[in-house]
Structure 1
């Protein structure tokens, strides 16, 4: 049986895909923060649900998909080790990421993407990778 925090992530992606703001508010704290390290157009600390949605929209422009290799979970955190694939005009991108989700009171309160090669990721997201 999946851990409750795994279910919250599934509900998040389902609501995000449907653009169901009420369902998103059920699983994401209004003051959520998201950390995407680096120096690219998607990097930085994003604050608040509308801005996190905008970040996921920007990342989605790269047609990102991920294969999760392993997940670790407890009552406060979930970490996923992933192989991520993206496509942009003239460039494809493949890299390992770890995504750390933090939870409080049954909601997502923080997320952090950590990649294996930040310089390559920055170049891809900025359109300078070839």
Structure 2
């Protein structure tokens, strides 16, 4: 597990309900794993945005993780990007989606490293 550099981010994870935290931590691990294979995503910055853990790469679009009113946890991308449209075109009907902003999850077992890693990689290199 990647250690937290920012205690505020660690505290944001600790404040999440247990089921949300487990899923968000699994997504966090996938973000770091995916970023490690992308030189353009380095250095990856972990910070808080809108009170949620967020991941920013030099040429990327922000990814956020957290709770969602319609799911246990979610992976959020910038709603004015083409990321979610590209994702739903590449993987139609495979996930529960909140418009153009989030993939929704109820269980960490729903996280697919290939499919969701694809979305993460696209977000981390969005501006290339």
Name the structure where helix makes up a greater proportion of residues.
Answer: 2
Sort the TM-score into its range (normalised by shorter chain): 0.3 to 0.5
TM-score by length of 2: 0.33
Over alpha carbons, which structure has the higher Rg? 1
